[in-house]
């Protein structure tokens, strides 16, 4: 009976040790996600104008090893775009705790969701924060290329010369 008890205790100890080896006990986190018109997000704001640079600043705390902040921008309420569709993304590597900065220039008014995901070296998600920014103004209009009447005539003249 005593041998069975010792066997159970030994197996339990091995299971606990095995779980501890696979577990990640990191306290690394995204302590803040701020938005602003400069790379310090100071002053902090969530209101922007069309074409204005939107800076997303994620502060990573309590990290003792390399991490990566994965930024993604999604259309939340933008005319002509599906809600939740990804509008852009980038990754920022950090050697340890620090600040990760991402920016984008929205060309249409509406609401944009910005998501910052902290991952460790193996790609395991550690923390995630998100926020929404509102962009006001008129969408940038792009006009089709204009062809001058002279360019059409010279093309016709070239065509006649080839015949």
The answer to whether residue 99 sits within a structural domain is yes
User: Domain total for the chain?
Assistant: 1
155, part of any domain: no
pLDDT for 154: 35
Contact 87, 139 (CB under 8 A): no
Domain-located, residue 60: yes
Distance CA 120, CA 80 (A): 36
Range of the domain at 36: 26-142
Q: pTM to 2 decimals?
A: 0.72
Between 14 and 37, where is the model more confident?
37
Q: Where are the beta strands (DSSP E) in the chain?
A: 29-36, 47-49, 54-61, 67-78, 86-94, 98-104, 110-119, 125-136
> What pLDDT does 15 receive?
56
pLDDT digits (tens, 9 = 90+) for 113-153: 999 999 999 999 999 999 999 999 988 665 544 444 443 43
Report yes or no on 113 lying in a domain. yes
Query: Does residue 73 belong to any structural domain of this protein?
Result: yes
14, part of any domain: no
Judged by average pLDDT, the poorest of 4-18, 21-35, 103-117, 138-152 is 138-152
Residue in the block written with tokens 């995204």:
30
Mean pLDDT of the region 33-41: 96
For position 69, which CATH number holds?
A: 2.70.50.60
Is 125 within the bounds of a domain? Answer: yes
82: three-class secondary structure by DSSP? coil
What is the tens place of the pLDDT at every residue in 62-82?
A: 999 999 999 999 999 999 999
So what's the pLDDT on residue 26? 80
Is 13 domain-assigned?
Answer: no
């Amino acid at each position: 009976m005593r041998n069975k008890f010792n066997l159970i205790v030994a197996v339990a100890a091995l299971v606990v040790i095995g779980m501890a080896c696979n577990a990640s006990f990191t306290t690394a986190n995204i302590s803040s996600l701020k938005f602003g018109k400069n790379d310090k997000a100071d002053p902090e704001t969530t209101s922007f104008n069309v074409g204005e640079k939107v800076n997303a600043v994620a502060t990573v705390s309590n990290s003792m090893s390399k991490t990566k902040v994965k930024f993604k921008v999604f259309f939340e309420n933008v005319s002509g775009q599906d809600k939740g569709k990804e509008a852009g993304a980038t990754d920022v590597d950090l050697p340890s705790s620090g600040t990760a900065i991402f920016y984008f220039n929205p060309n249409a008014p509406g609401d944009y969701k910005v998501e910052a995901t902290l991952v460790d070296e193996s790609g395991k998600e550690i923390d995630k924060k998100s926020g929404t920014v509102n962009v006001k103004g008129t969408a940038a209009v792009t006009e089709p290329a204009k062809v001058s009447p002279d360019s059409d005539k010279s093309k016709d003249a070239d065509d006649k010369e080839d015949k």
